[in-house]
Amino acid sequence: MSESRVQRRRRFLVCEPRHFAVQYAINPWMHPDVRVDVDLAQEQWQSLISTYRAHGHTVDAVEPVPGLPDMVFAANSAVVVNGRVFGSFFHAAERRPESTHYDMWFKAAGFTVHRPESVCEGEGDLVWTGRYVLAGTGFRTTREAHREVQEFFGHPVISLTLVDPYFYHLDTALFVLDEDTVVYYPEAFSPGSREVLARLYPDAVLATRDDAMAFGLNSVSDGRHVFIAPQAESLAARLDDHGYVPVPVDLSEFQKAGGGIKCCTQEIRP
């Protein structure tokens, strides 16, 4: 059955976790008194990059900056659709300087970057489906930013309200498998948002809270392979049943900061 799933080669932007640490608490996962094993984080991150390349994907990297421990979470830096870059304006003051460094990388690579006026955290809350943008709000990115995104890209933006602090970004509660369907954890969303998702994606793969707490929804799909936390075993089994190929990559050290595979992965869509 997996033969029916078609891989599409991707271009990813990442940032080495050279300065990764938990120095402050801006989500329920973060506890500054918990020590981060930087060597293990480096090893896990390198494994992710090697896995992407082994599956034919292109990986570019931004130089990490001392004093910005969350810069490794490249997904939050922007959203890129059709070669157009909508940048970030972080909710937490601690993370706001990250935007400048990512903007510089994009500009040096030949992109024009739009600076948002409202709080907006890139692919953390803005998920491109191939037809429209699913946009999370409730904890970080504002509804005003959703309007900005629609005006900038000219694609419909569908607002979804997140209600569980553990799933503070949309990319912790939902990910795109391909242009036809998504995976999501229903209870992370408001009742109305659940109805919207059910109408848009009647054949979606639904995840459990255990899947979500294991960062199984913070996954990356290339249309055939799904790069997923190995702890999300039941979700991986369901994906396999649906004809996708789970590729386990352990980023457990990054969960101490509330991040996982997708958080570390910005997609550059030409």
Q: Which two tokens stand for residue 161?
A: 């309200």
Question: Which residue do the tokens 């309200």 mark?
Answer: 161
pLDDT of residue 3: 52
Query: 81-104: per-residue pLDDT in tens?
Result: 999 999 999 999 999 999 999 999
Tens of pLDDT, residues 135-171: 999 999 999 999 999 999 999 999 999 999 999 999 9
Among residues 146, 169, 225, 264, the one annotated as catalytic is: 169
Query: How many domains are contained in the chain?
Result: 1
pLDDT at 142: 98
User: Cβ-count burial of 31 within 10 angstroms (0-12 exposed, 13-18 middle, 19+ buried)?
Assistant: exposed
In this predicted model, what pLDDT tens digit does every residue of 232-258 receive, in sequence order? 999 999 999 999 999 999 999 999 999
Give residue 26's domain range: 2-267
114 is catalytic: no
Contact indicator for 69, 256 with CB cutoff of 8 Å: no
Provide Rg for the chain, Cα atoms.
17
Average pLDDT, the chain: 96
| 176: amino acid identity, one letter | V
Contacts of 193 (CB under 8 A, 6+ apart): 159, 160, 161, 162
Which residue in the list 15, 120, 263, 264 is annotated as catalytic?
263
Quote the CA–CA distance of 14 and 22 in Å, as a whole number.
Answer: 19
CATH number at residue 154: 3.75.10.10
